[in-house]
Chain A
Amino acid sequence: MNKSIRRLIVSALACLLLSGAAGTTASAEPYEVYNYDQWGDAVPSQAGYIPERSVSGRDLGTTAFTEPSDIFLAPDGLFYIADSGNDRIVVCDAELTEKVRIIDTLTMPDGTKTSLSVPQGVFVTEDTLYIADSENSRVLVCGTDGKVIRELTKPESAAYDQNKTFMPKRVIADKAGNVYVVLGNITTGAAMFDPDGNFTGFYGANRVQPTAEIISDHFSGLFISDEKRARRTRNIPSGITSFDIDGDFIFTCSSSSTQTTDTVKKLNAAGKNIFADKEVTFGDYTPMYDTSQNRVLSSAITDIDIAEDGCINCLDQTSGRIFQYDEECGLLFITGGIAKQLGGFTQPAAIESCGEKLYVLDRTKNTVTVFTETEFGKTVHKASSLHNAGLYEEALGPWNDVLRMDGNYYAAYVGVASALLRQEDYRGAMKYAKKADAGRIYNKAFEGWRRQWLRENGGMLILGIAAVIAAAVFLTRQIRKRRRKGESTDDGSQTG
């Protein structure tokens, strides 16, 4: 009797525990949330974004998307989705609840109608709409009323290889009205057109990664004949896959899974890469082997988006993850994954951000997934933007909140160490800098602490050293005396 009651209680408790455990593990995301620690090891982390809902074409009051390839948030707050498979651009409201209009035919300057064919990129400014009309080999520059102002086609310039077709994939325009077009088969950078539609050259080509093979090819190339050289495989960098513009800077990404240089670039107006000297690996640090798919997942960043606060969102198509970096290229969050459920992707194609939301377009699922910032994400963003602005002490509170929520978040240790260093709390700064593997901060903090310590205990230190020296001198003298006495007796015994 007693035994059976006990057994009942135990089993009930076990059930309770198990259900509790199941409740905690079954979080909203169908993927593991992780981040990298100071040694580049992946560690579990708190989610910065959680999936909120996914929106299909039907949800917007139109037919389903077919292989959509680009999403863009216009300055007027409307979303433009390039629905490539249906040859149209779907415009919907900022809440992604219903369509506003559909762009599939446009009026040419001469009054004729023209229809889109597999539009793959869309970009909108205050008064102009740019469409990369891929299969028609043209970029359409139109007013918001749907009237085409200009049509950019294959340049007849000598700078453009005439054997190559003109296959626009993505398009952006800067404030001056220069149009930049990513072409599918061109590796020498984005084609650049001036406001009048004249081709002015290529912009922002990637560099070739100096691997051992390429270096040895270069040296063997010095000795081989011209015929042989002409037949060799050429070393060509991977082209730009996508880009985004933020003020005066253009950010580009390349979805090559083998290339590790220039995967993400920040280009100034002259086309110089500002991130060139940064030692940052965008995407996963080490390619991960996925047992369920039996393949190695090396990051291929397929789209990039710059948020209003300067954060860089990189969309990795192999792992389906969004890597978010702050403006200094510090990794903030890793969100998403390959999964069927909400929050996972099959073939992510484009990313857009607005405030605390992230929008990811999936080419195969034909949906837009909306992610929203968590409390943790909000705190990290606040802390990191204060930190990057140099307001270390103001960032201390948010960083401490971050550490309370996630002790694995190593950037927070750097933040706290910087703040404590500025507050001249050297012991605290040393403690946190050590945890953050921030040798430079630790060095500064240690210098300050040593100075402080010497100022307080300098006299004692000198006294101590003097005492030690005196004791040493005394002891050696004693030992020598004793030894000499021993030797003399030894000698005495020998002579005697």
Chain B
Amino acid sequence: MMDLRPAEWVRHAVMHPVEGFEDMRWKKSGSLKIAFFIVFMLFFGQIADDKLYGTQFYIPYDRVFNIVPYIVMSFVIFGAWVVGNWAVCTLLDGEGTMRNICIYSAYALIPYTVQLLLNAFLSHFLIRDEAVFIDVIRFIGIGWTAILLFSAVKAVHQYTFAKTVFAVLFTIGAMLIMLFLLVLFMSLMQQVFGFIFTIWTEISYRIRV
């Protein structure tokens, strides 16, 4: 019963929002490799969404290309979600391991990623009057991913509905705190580097004179 290969498990999980992840958990399935591939595709999807749209919809400023925002919008946010969820749910009696949280959450991102890429592709064939197709696809993609993500958290930790809602809210809070600390840390590092650099310059001038 349910002897599927990893790729087929992906389809099963995405196509069965309610039980898909429960089945996966029951069969101890899921592949980290596929999970990372999905996050990688999310990264490309974010870039496509911003830079590769059809000219009739949006002409991006292509004089400079900064990759950092796209890294933040894919890898950093996903990493913060996984770590935040793991940290919160460890305290809330969750049963999920970090590995499983990562795999299930990544699988849940598939509709969103597909939506990004599909819309970037479609935008080259549609005109502005037909933008409603793009909107509908985006709406479906985001909604589906939201449901899957919820169901993934519920399955991986074996929570009730209400507890999952709490867990998701706490996870978002944890993500914000983590990102805030990250920004704080980076600005601190910047100042420390500036301080060291100034001392270095000063000393090197003194030595030279």
Q: Shortest CB–CB separation between residue A336 and chain B, in angstroms?
A: 27
Which residues of chain A are near B61, meaning CB under 8 Å? 39
Partner of A439, one of B56, B63, B125, B129: B56
Which residues of chain B are near A430, meaning CB under 8 Å? 55
CB atoms of B63 and A442 under 8 A apart: no
Secondary structure of the A side of the interface?
helix
Partner of B127, one of A41, A437, A443: A443
CB atoms of B57 and A439 under 8 A apart: yes
The answer, yes or no, to whether B195 is at the interface (CB within 8 Å) is no
CB atoms of A450 and B127 under 8 A apart: yes
CB atoms of B59 and A439 under 8 A apart: yes
Which residues of chain A are near B63, meaning CB under 8 Å? 39, 41
Chain A stretch 96-114: residues in CB contact (< 8 A) with chain B: none
Which residues of chain A are near B56, meaning CB under 8 Å? 439, 442-443, 446-447
Which residues of chain B are near A443, meaning CB under 8 Å? 56-57, 127-128
The answer, yes or no, to whether A434 is at the interface (CB within 8 Å) is yes
Which residues of chain B are near A439, meaning CB under 8 Å? 55-59
Roughly how many angstroms separate A443 CA and B126 CA in the complex, as a whole number?
Answer: 9
Which residues of chain A are near B129, meaning CB under 8 Å? 447
Query: Closest residue of chain B to A441, judged by CB?
Result: B56
Roughly how many angstroms separate A84 CA and B83 CA in the complex, as a whole number?
Answer: 74
Which residues of chain B are near A442, meaning CB under 8 Å? 55-56, 59
Chain B stretch 126-148: residues in CB contact (< 8 A) with chain A: 127-129
Contact with B along A427-452 (1 / 0, CB 8 A): 00010011001010011001100100
Secondary structure of the B side of the interface?
loop
Which residues of chain B are near A433, meaning CB under 8 Å? 55
Q: Which of B56, B58, B61, B125 has its CB near the most chain A CB atoms (within 10 A)?
A: B56
Contact with A along B43-59 (1 / 0, CB 8 A): 00000000000111111
Which residues of chain A are near B57, meaning CB under 8 Å? 439, 443
Q: Which of A41, A430, A447 has its CB near the most chain B CB atoms (within 10 A)?
A: A447
Q: Shortest CB–CB separation between residue B111 and chain A, in angstroms?
A: 22
Roughly how many angstroms separate A439 CA and B61 CA in the complex, as a whole number?
Answer: 13
Q: Which of B54, B55, B57, B129 has its CB near the most chain A CB atoms (within 10 A)?
A: B55
Roughly how many angstroms separate A447 CA and B125 CA in the complex, as a whole number?
Answer: 9
CB atoms of A434 and B55 under 8 A apart: yes
Query: Closest residue of chain B to A438, judged by CB?
Result: B59
Q: Shortest CB–CB separation between residue B3 and chain A, in angstroms?
A: 9
Query: Closest residue of chain B to A446, judged by CB?
Result: B56
Roughly how many angstroms separate A459 CA and B59 CA in the complex, as a whole number?
Answer: 32
Contact with A along B21-61 (1 / 0, CB 8 A): 00000000000000000000000000000000011111101
Partner of B59, one of A434, A446, A450: A434
CB atoms of B127 and A446 under 8 A apart: yes
Which residues of chain B are near A41, meaning CB under 8 Å? 63
Roughly how many angstroms separate A39 CA and B55 CA in the complex, as a whole number?
Answer: 15
Q: Shortest CB–CB separation between residue A50 and chain B, in angstroms?
A: 30
Which residues of chain A are near B125, meaning CB under 8 Å? 450
Which residues of chain B are near A447, meaning CB under 8 Å? 56, 127, 129
Which residues of chain A are near B59, meaning CB under 8 Å? 38, 434, 437, 439, 442
Query: Closest residue of chain B to A483, judged by CB?
Result: B5
Q: Shortest CB–CB separation between residue A479 and chain B, in angstroms?
A: 12
Roughly how many angstroms separate A443 CA and B58 CA in the complex, as a whole number?
Answer: 10
Which residues of chain B are near A39, meaning CB under 8 Å? 61, 63
Q: Shortest CB–CB separation between residue A31 and chain B, in angstroms?
A: 24
Roughly how many angstroms separate A434 CA and B125 CA in the complex, as a whole number?
Answer: 16
Query: Closest residue of chain A to B131, judged by CB?
Result: A443
Query: Closest residue of chain A to B5, judged by CB?
Result: A483
Q: Shortest CB–CB separation between residue B190 and chain A, in angstroms?
A: 23
Roughly how many angstroms separate A439 CA and B129 CA in the complex, as a whole number?
Answer: 13
Chain A stretch 385-434: residues in CB contact (< 8 A) with chain B: 430, 433-434
Query: Closest residue of chain A to B62, judged by CB?
Result: A39
Roughly how many angstroms separate A450 CA and B127 CA in the complex, as a whole number?
Answer: 9
Roughly how many angstroms separate A282 CA and B63 CA in the complex, as a whole number?
Answer: 24
Q: Shortest CB–CB separation between residue A492 and chain B, in angstroms?
A: 15
Contact with A along B138-181 (1 / 0, CB 8 A): 00000000000000000000000000000000000000000000
Which residues of chain A are near B54, meaning CB under 8 Å? 446
Q: Shortest CB–CB separation between residue B121 and chain A, in angstroms?
A: 15
Chain A stretch 1-51: residues in CB contact (< 8 A) with chain B: 38-39, 41
Q: Which of A437, A443, A450 has its CB near the most chain B CB atoms (within 10 A)?
A: A443
Q: Shortest CB–CB separation between residue B77 and chain A, in angstroms?
A: 28
Which residues of chain A are near B58, meaning CB under 8 Å? 439
Which residues of chain B are near A437, meaning CB under 8 Å? 59
Roughly how many angstroms separate A433 CA and B54 CA in the complex, as a whole number?
Answer: 13
Query: Closest residue of chain B to A443, judged by CB?
Result: B56
Query: Closest residue of chain A to B59, judged by CB?
Result: A437
Q: Shortest CB–CB separation between residue A308 and chain B, in angstroms?
A: 36
Query: Closest residue of chain A to B124, judged by CB?
Result: A446
Roughly how many angstroms separate A400 CA and B198 CA in the complex, as a whole number?
Answer: 55
Which residues of chain A are near B128, meaning CB under 8 Å? 443
Chain B stretch 53-79: residues in CB contact (< 8 A) with chain A: 54-59, 61, 63
Q: Shortest CB–CB separation between residue A185 and chain B, in angstroms?
A: 44
Roughly how many angstroms separate A450 CA and B124 CA in the complex, as a whole number?
Answer: 11
Q: Shortest CB–CB separation between residue B51 and chain A, in angstroms?
A: 14
Query: Closest residue of chain A to B130, judged by CB?
Result: A447
Chain B stretch 90-144: residues in CB contact (< 8 A) with chain A: 125, 127-129
Q: Which of A38, A41, A446, A447 has its CB near the most chain B CB atoms (within 10 A)?
A: A446
Q: Shortest CB–CB separation between residue A405 and chain B, in angstroms?
A: 23
Roughly how many angstroms separate A38 CA and B128 CA in the complex, as a whole number?
Answer: 20
Query: Closest residue of chain B to A38, judged by CB?
Result: B59
- Which residues does A use to contact B, with CB under 8 Å? 38-39, 41, 430, 433-434, 437, 439, 442-443, 446-447, 450
- Which residues does B use to contact A, with CB under 8 Å? 54-59, 61, 63, 125, 127-129
Can you list 23 A-B contacts (CB < 8 A)? A38-B59, A39-B61, A39-B63, A41-B63, A433-B55, A434-B55, A434-B59, A439-B55, A439-B56, A439-B58, A442-B56, A442-B59, A443-B56, A443-B57, A446-B54, A446-B55, A446-B56, A446-B127, A447-B56, A447-B127, A447-B129, A450-B125, A450-B127
In the complex, the 8 A-B pairs of residues with the closest C-beta atoms, listed nearest first: A443-B56, A447-B127, A443-B128, A446-B56, A437-B59, A442-B55, A434-B55, A442-B56
Q: Assuming A41-B63, A450-B127, what are 7 further A-B pairs, CB within 8 angstroms?
A: A39-B61, A434-B55, A434-B59, A439-B56, A439-B57, A443-B127, A450-B125
